[in-house]
Structure 1
């Protein structure tokens, strides 16, 4: 999703620069203008993005909204901006005044990090008290980004936005009420649920008991649902990992066997390593894996769990250990096979990390 990628880049920009942004004007230039640009509007075209647009209210002159976005010569969005450290919600009364005289259908109140989108769903030409959409640059949600696409220059669709805005408004309200019920179930909810299976009178004492039961039941249900989702995700990841392991193993096994020569020195070195590791693990878990370039020792015959490798195919012989991680092999020169015993700690450490 191109829009999401651009917003994520803006997030990185905000995080990297915000401590250096000291004024509201700097916030607008560094954070808000790039956001408007991401939506596809030409911030350098004063007929499309109008800065400091006059919004005189009655006898009060000189009132200006930070930006007005126009499309087809009609205002569609107004932006009121605050310093990034300020809570944008605290200034919605100011945007409310501008909205009333701007003729735009949507208003945005922002501090460059959080963008609150308002409409007039309750009363025509009077901005609602609460936003129907919030875009938090530091906590981007795919569902919100999808709605934001309707505000882009190429994707702007008034009817789609209004339909989404109304749905979002009521979904947020229902969600808020649901969260209240989870925290403290009301008598109405308890009666609704209990009357489906309990045919005795609900006395005051029984109501108190059932309220506690309902609270616990809701909590357990939500926690188990989350747990099931996590288990499902973990199972999927484990399946993918096993498939990757199998692909790696198949690739290794496909090496031209005719070119692999296992020497007596390699077998002797393997027996030394095996003897060292038997102090920690069962011998059945220590597996050899010879290849054209090295002789490997694996834990559980798993290519992703290398214990060590013997590089004996050159004049100098090396023992490669993985005590610093499976992707951080360290080659050690061997003057004799007996020196392998000196790497006991590294070999034990490697096994422990798996």
Structure 2
């Protein structure tokens, strides 16, 4: 995926440069504008990316947001930037004020490393307090890259993103709740499992005892699942390596003889009047010596069976069925000039 490569390249650049970036303006130019470009918007086209976008609030005129990304003449994302050294948690209120006076459904707060996307899921035209999607560009996961790609100019669809935003928001909150419960299980969480395995009355003492058991059981369960996945991946890799070793061994069993190479030269001599010689390729196998058109298995010119007491040339009819003809020596190949030329004609006709 191209966007994945571009994001990885930007992340590498950020890690190299961030210690030399001192100001908010430098953060914008070095980190944020390249990200906007990755989304397919031309940061140097004022019809697509408007810097210092005016967002007047009531009687307070001249309020500006750092960037507005436009599509079809309308702002679709407003962007507020901070220095990469700043924590974003204290800055969403400023963007919150701008949101309701613009026509956009999305707001982005970023310090060039952390990115937080907001919309209005809780109340129409009023920016939510919490972002529905956030990520660290220097630590991206595959599913995160997929979500970022939905904001790309070529994919951007307001309704699709808003619909997906709800799922992202609640998935993030559920994951946080799961993490909190695993680190410090609540009584409700403990009772949920204790009720299913304990037959006695759940006194306060019993609940306290089950707290450690539930926490330990979940940690063991997660560790076992991770180990199962790792072992499955490892076993798959071992099987793959064994298969590759078998293939190498089989290849080593194939010995191309001088006679077979001479036979190839005879076929080339017959067909070179109608074909460039670099299109007549030989490929040896354990059971036969094949000669192919364009090194394509689906275009066999002939097969030579020379490694036994009786020698054969395998010719191919209209249905690409091999018909074996006995030969005394490779010089007899010249007798089948007509058939070889006709086989080439069939393949050339297919291409036309």
In the superposition, the TM-score normalised over structure 1's length comes to 0.69
User: Cα distance, 1:109 vs. partner?
Assistant: 0.8
2:72 is matched with 72
Matched, 1:234 2:234: yes
Matched, 1:95 2:95: yes
1:47 is matched with 47
In 2 relative to 1, CA 254–175 (structure 1 residues): closer, same or farther, beyond 3 Å? same
Give the CA RMSD over aligned residues.
2.0
2:192 is matched with 192
> In the comparison of the two structures, how many residue pairs are matched?
259
User: Cα distance, 1:28 vs. partner?
Assistant: 1.0
In 2 relative to 1, CA 203–59 (structure 1 residues): closer, same or farther, beyond 3 Å? same
Higher alpha-carbon Rg: 2
Moved more, 162-171 or 195-204: 195-204
Listed as ranges, the matches of 1:296-335 within 5 Å are none
2:14 is matched with 14
Moved more, 198-207 or 215-224: 198-207
Distance in 1, Cα, partners of 2:252 & 2:15: 44
Gapped regions of structure 2 (runs ≥ 5): 259-352
User: Cα distance, 1:256 vs. partner?
Assistant: 5.4
User: Cα distance, 1:257 vs. partner?
Assistant: 9.1
Distance in 2, Cα, partners of 1:130 & 1:247: 55
User: Cα distance, 1:58 vs. partner?
Assistant: 2.6
1:166 is matched with 166
Moved more, 27-36 or 86-95: 86-95
Distance in 1, Cα, partners of 2:27 & 2:107: 18
Gapped regions of structure 1 (runs ≥ 5): 259-354
Query: Are the equivalent residues in 2 in contact too, given 1:147–1:164 (CA < 8 A)?
Result: no
Matched, 1:207 2:207: yes
Distance in 2, Cα, partners of 1:213 & 1:83: 45
Q: Secondary structure at the match of 2:46?
A: coil
Query: Are the equivalent residues in 2 in contact too, given 1:56–1:62 (CA < 8 A)?
Result: yes
Distance in 2, Cα, partners of 1:123 & 1:255: 76
Distance in 2, Cα, partners of 1:123 & 1:13: 38
Q: Secondary structure at the match of 1:37?
A: helix
Any idea what the Cα deviations from partners look like across 1:130-188, whole Å, max 9, x if unmatched? 11111321111221222222211111111111111100111111111111111222221
In the superposition, the TM-score normalised over structure 2's length comes to 0.69
